[in-house]
Amino acid sequence: MKLRLGPQPLEWIDRNVSVTFDFEGKRVTGFEGDVVTSALWAEGWKVLGRSFKYHRRRGLMSFANHDINALFQTAEMPNVRGDVTPAKNGLSLTAVNTFGSLENDKGALVEWIAKFLPVGFYYRAFYSPKFLFPKWERLIREMAGLGKINTNWSEERQPKRYRHCDVAIIGAGASGMAAAIQAAKQGVDVCLIDENPFIGGSLDYQFANQRSQSLNRQYLKETVASLPNIQVITSAYVAGYYGDHWLAVNTDQGLIKLSAQSVVVATGVFEQPAVFRNNDLPGVMNASAAQRLMARYAVAPCNAGVVLTANHEGYRAALDMHENGLIVKAILDTGKTEGVWVDEAKKAGIVVYEQVTPIEALGSREVEGFIFGLNGMEHRLDCDGILMSVGWAPAGAPLYQAGAKFGYEPEVQQLIPVSLPDGVFACGRVNGVYVMEDRIKDGEQAGLAAALHVKGDAIPEWKDFRDGVAHSHPYPIWQHPKGKEFVDFDEDIQVKDLKGAIAQGFDNIELMKRFSTIGMGPSQGKHSNMNGIRMLAKLTGKTIDETGSTTARPMFHPTPVSHLAGMRFRPERVTPMQLFHEEAKACFMEAGNWLRPEYYPTEATREDSIKAEVSAVRNAVGLVDVSTLGKLEIFGRDAAELMDRLYTMRMSNMAIGASRYALMVDDAGVLIDDGVAVRFSDEHFYVTTTTSTSDSAYRMIQKKVIEWNLMVTVLNRTGQIGAMNVAGPNSRKVLSKLTAFGLSNDNFPYLASRQAKLAGVDVTMIRVGFVGELGYEIHVDASNALMVWDAIMNAGKEFGIKPFGVEAQRLLRLEKGHIIVGQDTDGLTNPFEANMSWAVHFKKPYFLGKPSLMKLKQMQTRTLVGFELLSDAEKDQPLESNLLIEGKEMVGRVTSIGQSDTLKKVIGLAMVSTEYSAEGQELNIKLSDGRLVKAKVVKTPFYDPEGWLQKSNEGSGEAA
């Protein structure tokens, strides 16, 4: 264990439990509590991955999941992040995006031609000759991308849960813990979230060896644990802040959708790398990364390192190394930092050079030395590690997403929130507050404010706890004539790339980002955006504020699809007769979220089964489940008035016990719904709607009742009532067996509706014939529906009854020339085009869409007609949606078509330009293969035009 240190005061590892896993085919051993990166580093693996574009060797850099140097592939997962993935037995990892292996990556050849690939090079080439582009694109696509997908991976879904609290606090560092305590003391319900497995934040790594902080640490942690109204959620990050204080909190178990009344953002800061030549060599890392390595995992960043610093935090990191018995060759201060840690470092005898200019890191595979400038002279130090401590950027994502505005504070040389939305508070380093005691005070102030906001109490005056010291270098970028100073490690973007982008006119933060792709990689600019902004500002002679910052959109970290999707909640609806359908092995189809029998496979083939169902209806009797129809009860003083206003035809003059076809259009006169209306009493109607519109029609009608100020109640009974249609010459005979009620024409004529007892229960029967036979639609409470259905099936046995499905019904209604709204009509069809002017009663003073219809009536250009096929139907039967052609012009389309055995023809409906709609007109139907077949416009209904059959007295025992 090359770099493993002795026990650390706050280490996260369990030295009694070791774990082993494979990396690039080699065995790695670490401790329980290690993450993959720390386990690898401890064993001296310094090359953890290859860079995106040039395939340069990359090591540990932020060690906080703010870069993707350590990005791995397993058999189950792409893009596994070593910085945060626990080391587990049996893991088998390889580096992503290598060609060959991590050690021998052929992709590295790209670096040889790097000079030919300046920023945005791919916009400059590959497009001509055109025919070559696909090959180039393929190559570029293969080079791009990171991990690999296995398309055989099974689906994974993690349940999600809601959690409602009063105050949500993001970040459980010193200020976050302090905020939680203050809020909780106000008696509100607090959730404290941190992405690490333990709370404590930088208190536990930056201050790990700072004895003076142990009291603060003890107080904060113990108080948080002792307060029952604080729920601590660890190993959880806030993927996104959404409106009304909703937080998407991602945990290993799944997504928690956390809603709060107020939110405290104590997310701290991202340490930013210094930009100098070869700053990406393995061994060059952020100082905070080194501190996390040592304090949490007891792993040394290196044996003998230098610390490049612009703030006193760098001195603390040097002290941490020193106190761990590691060699600090020197602290290289880019300025002249002051502070307690500076004094301590000097007291400890660590060499400090001030006013230093970094020049380049040396080394082929990993860091071997560092060259820097001092008083105009170049100096070289041999070292196996370089710690960078040159500044910070706020971890402001939740604040940006909440709508906070940031401004540049020169005192701390950092962007800080300058305006916060209602109920959102920021504290700690994200707010530019660095001194530990101040961070705690700042947190207490924010926590109190958040709680008071929940209670609706006034918030005391806001105090600024920032020390007057700059914790970030204003421009930590040192260009080198030979380049290779990396700003964005994800995307391999160097100083010259950004210069190039800016010089070419992409001198706006967003344009620079889009052209150079800075910040567009998987770490979304966490380690690069700030330096990018600093460069743009400097090169365009603007201030940071004038330059502006890019917005940080969700997700904070890439978030698993399985967590975001959660379980599958897709309501599915079945009718009360489902049991029968299933036992009959019905073939189901989906209608909205309903399941409906398409047909019952009684014959060898689908076609034959449907034919058998059709012939049963035409020659004997059939039974179809129409429970999916929308069913509305409309009752009250103004019921009749409402009906008149809703539908295009007059309804108020319906006799009690009568039924009538009901057609509805919208304000624009477009046909949206049809059904059957029944009048139970003066003030009580019952209407059906099409299956797909039941909910929307009900919604709309209720709305109209309010707009029109009518005294009427509308109830949606769709799911509470089962409905079936008994149709066929024998239907009356069947029903007679089940009811004493007189079914003959004089007692129960065509289009009448009656309420009676059938099979012993109350039902409503409507004598309508959608399929064009003697028929009864029976509506009955859902709880009795299946019983009635079974009774009819039994009673019908002797009359050859068959259940029939949607397909048979479609053909039967087509023979009858009845339209299906949504199939024979489209998004703009009006009643005149649908050939239903008979259903529009302009004499009514008012009805929905009337003025539109009056206009549309005068400008009709297309008409729905019936046609029959002239040529041989067998081999040339057109399909629905085939076009009608005249010369070159498209003059219409087939909306319905079917082979009618009853009529021995292929018949159909078509929407055609009115000039071609006359009876006898020949039509050319263009088959999908382009051939034309002839058809002729004929009158509808095709079957039983006079409707004798529907009106028949057959089976009533009286003379027909």
Task: Report 325-364 residues binding another protein (CB under 8 A).
Answer: none
- Is residue 640 close enough to count as binding another protein by CB under 8 A? no
Among 149, 374, 918, 960, binds another protein (CB under 8 A): 149
C-alpha to C-alpha distance for 21 and 89, rounded to whole angstroms = 5
Q: What tokens appear for 658 in the block?
A: 């009568």
DSSP-H helix ranges across 606-723: 606-619, 639-646, 694-707
Q: What tokens appear for 92 in the block?
A: 């088998």
Cβ closer to another protein: 288 or 784? 784
Among 10, 589, 787, 932, binds another protein (CB under 8 A): 589
Among 425, 506, 748, 789, binds another protein (CB under 8 A): 506
- Is residue 846 close enough to count as binding another protein by CB under 8 A? yes
φ/ψ (deg, to 5) at 876: -115, 20
Tell the smallest beta-carbon distance from residue 844 to another protein (Å). Answer: 10
Tell the smallest beta-carbon distance from residue 28 to another protein (Å). Answer: 23
- Nearest one of 637, 696, 634, 621 to 664, comparing CA atoms: 696
The span of 43-51, 175-183, 236-244, 430-438 binding another protein (CB under 8 A) equals: 236-244
- Is residue 582 close enough to count as binding another protein by CB under 8 A? no
C-alpha to C-alpha distance for 12 and 298, rounded to whole angstroms = 8
- Is residue 227 close enough to count as binding another protein by CB under 8 A? no
Query: What are the angstrom distances between the C-alpha of 769 and each of 331, 623, 725, 790, 817?
Result: 94, 12, 9, 21, 12
- Is residue 303 close enough to count as binding another protein by CB under 8 A? no
Scan residues 372-401 and list those touching another protein (CB under 8 A): 401
The span of 22-30, 458-466, 558-566, 654-662 binding another protein (CB under 8 A) equals: 558-566
With both helix axes pointing from N to C terminus, report the angle between 340-347 and 312-323 in degrees, rounded to the nearest 10.
40
Tell the smallest beta-carbon distance from residue 745 to another protein (Å). Answer: 30
Tell the smallest beta-carbon distance from residue 890 to another protein (Å). Answer: 6
- Is residue 116 close enough to count as binding another protein by CB under 8 A? yes
C-alpha to C-alpha distance for 897 and 876, rounded to whole angstroms = 12
The span of 37-45, 200-208, 627-635, 731-739 binding another protein (CB under 8 A) equals: 627-635
Scan residues 651-680 and list those touching another protein (CB under 8 A): 667-669
Scan residues 718-777 and list those touching another protein (CB under 8 A): 718-720
User: How many residues interact with another protein (rule CB under 8 A)?
Assistant: 153
φ/ψ (deg, to 5) at 791: -60, -45
- Nearest one of 917, 937, 674 to 818, comparing CA atoms: 674
The span of 445-453, 746-754, 788-796, 873-881 binding another protein (CB under 8 A) equals: 873-881
Strand partners, 867: 908, 937
Angle at 607 between CA 930 and CA 821, to 5 degrees: 70
Tell the smallest beta-carbon distance from residue 306 to another protein (Å). Answer: 32
Cβ closer to another protein: 247 or 302? 247
Among 649, 705, 768, 869, binds another protein (CB under 8 A): 705
What burial class does residue 774 get, using C-beta atoms within 10 Å of its C-beta: 0-12 exposed, 13-18 middle, 19+ buried? Answer: buried
C-alpha to C-alpha distance for 273 and 529, rounded to whole angstroms = 11
Residue linked to tokens 């034919």: 611
- Is residue 682 close enough to count as binding another protein by CB under 8 A? no
The span of 363-371, 440-448, 778-786, 864-872 binding another protein (CB under 8 A) equals: 778-786
- Is residue 576 close enough to count as binding another protein by CB under 8 A? yes
Q: What tokens appear for 490 in the block?
A: 């994800």
- Nearest one of 262, 279, 291, 237 to 84, comparing CA atoms: 237
Helix (H, G, I), strand (E, B) or coil at 215: helix
Among 379, 538, 684, 737, binds another protein (CB under 8 A): 684
Distance of CA 559 to the CA centre of its chain: 11
Among 562, 585, 948, 957, binds another protein (CB under 8 A): 562
Scan residues 63-102 and list those touching another protein (CB under 8 A): 76-79
- Is residue 542 close enough to count as binding another protein by CB under 8 A? no
- Is residue 631 close enough to count as binding another protein by CB under 8 A? no
Rg (Cα) of the chain, in Å, rounded?
Answer: 39
Among 17, 109, 125, 348, binds another protein (CB under 8 A): 125
- Is residue 51 close enough to count as binding another protein by CB under 8 A? no
- Is residue 560 close enough to count as binding another protein by CB under 8 A? yes
Scan residues 242-301 and list those touching another protein (CB under 8 A): 242-244, 246, 248, 253-254, 257, 259
Site map for another protein, 907-926, x if CB under 8 A? -------------------x
C-alpha to C-alpha distance for 854 and 703, rounded to whole angstroms = 24
Among 106, 135, 148, 606, binds another protein (CB under 8 A): 148
- Is residue 108 close enough to count as binding another protein by CB under 8 A? no
- Is residue 931 close enough to count as binding another protein by CB under 8 A? no
- Is residue 469 close enough to count as binding another protein by CB under 8 A? no
C-alpha to C-alpha distance for 572 and 567, rounded to whole angstroms = 15
Tell the smallest beta-carbon distance from residue 398 to another protein (Å). Answer: 13
Distance of CA 922 to the CA centre of its chain: 51
Among 162, 462, 838, 948, binds another protein (CB under 8 A): 162
Helix (H, G, I), strand (E, B) or coil at 365: coil
Scan residues 476-505 and list those touching another protein (CB under 8 A): 496, 499-501, 503-505
Scan residues 810-839 and list those touching another protein (CB under 8 A): 822-823, 826-828
Q: What tokens appear for 81 in the block?
A: 């992040």
Tell the smallest beta-carbon distance from residue 561 to another protein (Å). Answer: 5
Among 852, 913, 924, 953, binds another protein (CB under 8 A): 852
Per-position DSSP letters for 501-554, written without gaps between them? HHHTT--SHHHHHHHH-TT-STTTTTTTHHHHHHHHHHHTT--HHHH-----PS
- Is residue 928 close enough to count as binding another protein by CB under 8 A? yes
Helix (H) or strand (E) holding 482: none
Is residue 203 a contact partner of residue 213, using CB atoms and an 8 Å limit? yes
Please give the single-letter amino acid code of residue 321. M
Question: Which residues fall within 8 angstroms of residue 400, CB to CB, at 6 or more apart?
Answer: 406, 551, 552
Helix (H) or strand (E) holding 448: helix 436-455
Is residue 775 a contact partner of residue 624, using CB atoms and an 8 Å limit? no
Tell the smallest beta-carbon distance from residue 365 to another protein (Å). Answer: 26
| 306, 308, 309, 312: CA torsion to nearest 10 | -10
Cβ closer to another protein: 155 or 583? 155
Tell the smallest beta-carbon distance from residue 502 to another protein (Å). Answer: 9
C-alpha to C-alpha distance for 72 and 63, rounded to whole angstroms = 14
Cβ closer to another protein: 164 or 405? 164
